[in-house]
Amino acid sequence: SQQGEEDPQALSIQEGENATMNCSYKTSINNLQWYRQNSGRGLVHLILIRSNEREKHSGRLRVTLDTSKKSSSLLITASRAADTASYFCATEKGNNRLAFGKGNQVVVIP
């Protein structure tokens, strides 16, 4: 079944460094979304990138989409302690459903 899968699963970096995480999916999509979740709280939408877009920016976030490889990456530049969270990609699963990956835990060390 189609589902976003993030890689790597866990990442620990120093404040100021960049963090990159990847997401792969299995079937064709119209768009892919990235969300952030702070510990035990609701998910917050970060970026939606459409299938005809290759790159999208939002502040310190940069998302790329490679439909030929069925993969997306999320780059957080100049990380801050407040970026410590889990990051999820979400893709369509057909039948009006959305599938989330298992999440990528990022720890930014001050």
Partner 1 sequence: EAQVTQNPRYLITVTGKKLTVTCSQNMNHEYMSWYRQDPGLGLRQIYYSMNVEVTDKGDVPEGYKVSRKEKRNFPLILESPSPNQTSLYFCASSRQGHQETQYFGPGTRLLVL
Residues that bind partner 1 (CB under 8 A): 30-31, 33, 35, 40-45, 48, 88, 90, 92-93, 95-103
CB of 9 to partner 1, least distance (A): 10
For the bound state, the minimum distance from the C-beta of residue 17 to partner 1, rounded and expressed in Å, comes to: 26
- For residues 57 and 48, the answer to whether their CB atoms sit within 8 Å is no
C-alpha Rg value of the chain to the nearest Å: 13
In the complex with partner 1, which residue's Cβ is closer, 76 or 90?
90
- Six-digit token string for 47: 């970026």
